Amino acid sequence: MREIKHYIGGEFMTGGTGHLDSINPTHPDQIIGEVPLGSAELMGQAVEVAASNQSAWRKQTGAARAGQLHAWGDAISARQEELAKAIVDEVGKPIGEARGEVQRCVAILRYFAGEAVRPVGEVVPSLTPGALQYSLREPHGVVGLITPWNFPLAIPLWKAAPALAVGNTVVLKPSEHSGYCAQLLAETAHAAGLGNVFQVVMGAGDTGRTLVEHVEVRAISFTGSDRTGKAIALTCAERNKRFQTEMGGKNVAIVLADADLKQAANLVAGGAMRFAGQKCTATSRVVVDSGIRGRFIDELRAAIDSLPVGDPAAAETAVGPVISAASQGRIDAAVSNAEFIYQSSKPDKGFFVASSVVGGISETDDLAQNELFGPVLALFEAKSFDQAIQIANHTRFGLSASLCTRDIGNALKYIDQVQAGMVRVNADTTGVDPHAPFGGYKGSSSGTREQGEVAKDFYTQIKTVQINP
C-alpha cells in the first residue's frame, strides 16, 4: 500500500490523526494510496517553516524567484506523462484532458515567472512640490491554499505560482481525494529547490480548518464548494484575514434560433458531459429558443452519443466516472424522479453516472438551482431572448455563461446583461486561457480573480509611500 506523505521543510513525512484511502474511481477496488490526515501540530510545523523562510524569499530579486518558478515548470515537464496518468488514476479525468492540465501547469509557471519581474507599483503625483509618491505592492507573508480534487495539479499551481512570484511563502492543503497528485506536485517542487517556501499538509476538512485558523497565515485562497467556501469566509472575516473563495456554478448556455445548431449541440454536449461534468465551469443548464427545441434536441442527442463514456485511460474517452460512490449516489438520487430527454448507457463497474438531459423542470427546482457536479444538463425553453436571459440569470451562482448565435447584436446584448464572471460566445462554458482573469459573479466567488495579471491583487497588499525633498 502506497503511503502518501506531507511535504514539510523539504522532507516527505507521514503522521497525523489517521488516514483516508484515495480510491481510483474507475476501478474502486484499486486504492491509490493512504492519505494521512494532518494534525494541528503538523500544520503548525509547516506554517513555521513557511514563516521563517518568507523574509529571505521576499528579499530575493524577482528575477531569482522567476528562475525558481521556471525550474518548477521544467520539473513538471520532465514528468508530464507520469503526472497525467496520476490524474487519470486518482480522479478519473480522461487522459487527453489530464495531459492538457499538465501543460496548463507549465504555462502557469512560465506566466507567473514573467509576472515576478513586472512593476510592483506606480508613481502617484504628489500635492507636495518635489515629493516622490508611489504605491508599492508587498506580499502578505504566509498564504494558505485549500484546493479541490478536480484540477489536482492546476488549481494548487494557479494559486501557488502568483503567491510565490510576489514573495509570499505558501502552505497547501490539497483535497483528500487527490493526495497522490499533490505528493507528485510536491516532488516536482522539491526538484526545483522550493522546499523552504512550498509546504503541503495532507488531510480533509479538519486539517483545512487548522490552516485557516492559524494565526501566522495572513491570507487564505480557497477553491471548492460554496458550502465550504462560506464557512471559510466566515472564519477569515472574524479574524480579519484576507480571503478568496472561488466556488461552484450553475453555468448556462443559451441557444438562439439563428445559431449553427450542430456546432451549438457539440459545444453544449462537451461543456456538460466531458470529465463527467465535474468542472466548476461545466454547462449544467441550457436554454433553447422554443422554435428550435425539437431540432436542437436531435442534434444534442447525436452530440452526446459522440462522446465516448468509459475508462479515462483510453485515448478516445471523453466521459469517465465521477469522483466517489457518494457523488454517484447523490447525483443518481437527484435525477431519480426527473423527466429524461436523453440518458446514455454507462459501464457497470466504477463510479459511473449516465450522461443525462432532463426537462420539465421549473426555474426554482433543485435541478435548476443546485450544483450537482455530474453529467446532468437541465433543458429549458424560452419564447424570447429576453426570457432566455432572465432564466440564465435566475441562479445564485454566476461563474460562466455561453451563447450560441450568429447575430453580433444578440452577442453584445448578452455580454451586457448576463450575470457571470466569464462570458463566451460560440464557445462552451468551460475552458479559459490560463493567462486570462478567472472567477465568478454573485455566489460563485468572493469577487477577486485568479490567473492572469489580476491574480496579484489578492496576493499583495499596497503600501503608499511619500518621500519629501
The residue from 51, 132, 231, 415 that contacts ligand NAD (CB under 6 A) is: 231
Amino acid at 405: T
| 70 belongs to the binding site for ligand NAD (CB under 6 A) | no
Residue whose C-beta lies closest to ligand NAD: 208
> Interface mask (CB under 6 A) for ligand NAD, residues 307-346, using x and -?
----------------------------------------
All three cell numbers of 275, joined, read: 470529465
Dmax (CA) of the chain: 77
What single-letter amino acid sits at 381?
E
Count of residues that interact with ligand NAD, criterion CB under 6 A: 30
Segment interacting with ligand NAD, rule: CB under 6 A, options 36-44, 222-230, 361-369, 459-467: 222-230
Judging by DSSP bridges, how do beta strands 400-404 and 251-255 pair with one another? parallel
Please report how close the Cβ of residue 428 comes to ligand NAD at its closest, in angstroms: 16
Q: What residues from 1 to 20 belong to the interface with ligand NAD (CB under 6 A)?
A: none
Closest CA to 189 of 179, 199, 202, 177: 199
Q: Measure the CA–CA gap between 38 and 19, rounded to whole angstroms.
A: 9
Q: For residues 162 and 190, is the Cβ–Cβ distance under 8 A? A: no
The Cα–Cα gap between 436 and 163 comes to: 17
Lookup: cell for 468? 519629501
Overall size of the chain counted in residues? 469
How many other C-beta atoms lie within 10 A of the C-beta of residue 309? 23
Nearer to ligand NAD, 167 or 271 (CB): 271
In order, the DSSP letters of 225-279 are -HHHHHHHHHHHHHTT-EEEEE----EEEEE-TTS-HHHHHHHHHHHHHGGGG-S
Active site residues: 246, 280
Q: Which of 37, 170, 185, 204 is in the footprint of ligand NAD by CB under 6 A?
A: 204
Binds ligand NAD by CB under 6 A, chosen from 52, 80, 133, 225: 225
Nearer to ligand NAD, 252 or 288 (CB): 252
The yes or no reply on residue 176 touching ligand NAD (CB under 6 A) is: yes
Residues 75-114 close enough to bind ligand NAD by CB under 6 A: none
Q: Is 395 in the site for ligand NAD (CB under 6 A)?
A: no
* Dist CA 466 CA 132 (whole Å): 6
Among 4, 201, 247, 420, binds ligand NAD (CB under 6 A): 247
Is 364 buried (19+), middle (13-18) or exposed (0-12) by CB count in 10 A? exposed
Per-residue contact flags (x/-) with ligand NAD for residues 416 to 455, judged by CB under 6 A: ------------------------x---x-----------
- Which is closer to ligand NAD, CB of 173 or CB of 218? 173
Question: Least separation, in Å, of the C-beta of 327 and ligand NAD?
Answer: 8
Containing H/E element for 305?
helix 293-305
223 binds ligand NAD (CB under 6 A): yes
CA atoms of 44 and 194, how far apart (whole Å): 19
* Residue numbers 123-152 binding ligand NAD by CB under 6 A: 146-151
Segment lying near ligand NAD (by CB under 6 A), choices 54-62, 100-108, 162-170, 242-250:
242-250
Between CA 361 and CA 376 the distance in angstroms is 13
Give the nearer residue to ligand NAD in terms of CB position, either 70 or 449.
Answer: 449
Q: Contact at 8 Å (CB) between 435 and 222?
A: no
Q: Residue 168 or 221: which CB sits closer to ligand NAD?
A: 221
Smallest distance, Å, CB 176 to ligand NAD? 5
Site string for ligand NAD, 248-267 (x = CB under 6 A): xx------------------
Verify binding: residue 246, ligand NAD, rule CB under 6 A: yes
| Nearer residue to ligand NAD within complex by CB, 5 or 65 | 5
| Nearest residue (CB) to ligand NAD, 57 versus 222 | 222
Give the CA angle between residues 463, 465, 469 to the nearest 5°.
175
Report the C-alpha gap between 316 and 279 in whole angstroms: 19
Question: Mask: binding to ligand NAD, 358-377, rule CB under 6 A, as x and -?
Answer: -------------x-x----
Helix (H) or strand (E) run with residue 465 in it? strand 460-467
**Region of 202-210, 256-264, 380-388, 460-468 interacting with ligand NAD (CB under 6 A):** 202-210
Say what angle helices 205-213 and 40-59 make with each other, to 10 degrees. Answer: 50
Name the nearest CA neighbour of 420 among 306, 227, 249.
249
The residues of the shown chain that bind ligand NAD, judged by CB under 6 A, are: 146-151, 173, 175-176, 204-205, 208-209, 212, 223-225, 228, 231-232, 246-249, 280, 371, 373, 399, 440, 444
